[in-house]
Chain A
Amino acid sequence: MFMDDDFTDDAMSGVASTIQKLEDLLLVTVPRDLMDDQVLSLRREVVKHIRLYNSLWVLLDFSQVDICDSYFGRFIQSMANMVRLTGARVIISGLQDAVIETMVELGMTLPDVRAVLDLDEALAMSRTNGKVDADTSETELAELSFLDSSTFDFFEV
């Protein structure tokens, strides 16, 4: 049977990452200590689910993540890039203040503050903008423009 909600368990911390459909939005809960091989499978699963549900929006929820190093930052970016290539739009939520502060000091450029939303806000945003064409709604979006253009490739983390 196809499991919608369960994708993988993080053996280290016992925190599961999940992929759930909420209206036009795909909610991806990123686990706390993502292992490198889990990064690849999580990205694959997300794309698979975008196709499956024709999701217009993908909400990457980082509320479980409390330690974000530069590799993890690169993962956030590559995940966002990949989602965009499917035509869906990216919202990120749940980045803790300590995580944001650390990433900035590490030298990672952070996305627009509008990226940091809770689930209710994300749903409201997808309901308002979900059916609008990409051009008009783009400015409303949580733009995830981490780092420089040279890093806008596909990463195999």
Chain B
Amino acid sequence: MVSPRLASRTWSIEGMVDVVTARRCGLKTALSLGFSTPEATKIAVVISELGRNILLYAERGLITVSPHSDTLPYIEIIAQDHGPGIEDVERVLAGGYTTSGGLGKGVSGSRRLMDEFEIETAVGEGTKIRAVKRLYRRR
């Protein structure tokens, strides 16, 4: 079944309310695209983690959620900001590293929850994270 054309959406992230709105919409979008509840939940949690990071470390930024209802449907999340950037990406991806007294599981955990996960970051310039989850897993 091909789902009706789902629109890509971008949220300006400036407060927790925006994060909540984005993750709720992401959950719905994922469900409409055909993701199961657990898989859609993971997508929503990733939006939440990346959104919180934007608030916490960059103050503001953008999150775009794009559903692709092609023959191999997938959902793409792009989180970008012009904040301080990440100095040690490897350490952040390894998990357990935090500069804010958090758990340090947001980025590393999000990578596990998604099928593709890329970080583009430069100190003093900002951060762009692209994450993809496919409806059908590659075997």
Query: How large, as a class, is the contact surface on chain A?
Result: 20 to 34
Interface string of B101-122 (1 = CB under 8 A from A): 0110110111011000000000
Asked whether, in the complex, the Cβ of A33 is within 8 Å of the Cβ of B20, the reply is: yes
CB of B13 closer than 8 Å to a CB of A: no
Chain A residue with minimal CB distance to B26?
A67
CB of A99 closer than 8 Å to a CB of B: yes
Asked whether, in the complex, the Cβ of A70 is within 8 Å of the Cβ of B16, the reply is: no
CB of B49 closer than 8 Å to a CB of A: yes
Interface size (B, Cβ < 8 Å)? 26
A105: chain B residues at CB < 8 Å are 42, 109, 112-113
CB of A107 closer than 8 Å to a CB of B: yes
B110: chain A residues at CB < 8 Å are 106
- B28 to chain A minimum Cβ distance, whole angstroms, is 11
Asked whether, in the complex, the Cβ of B49 is within 8 Å of the Cβ of A67, the reply is: no
Q: Top 5 nearest A-B pairs by Cβ distance?
A: A106-B109, A98-B38, A69-B48, A98-B41, A70-B105
Query: Chain B interface (Cβ within 8 Å of chain A)?
Result: 16-17, 20, 23-24, 27, 37-38, 40-42, 44-45, 48-49, 52, 95, 102-103, 105-106, 108-110, 112-113
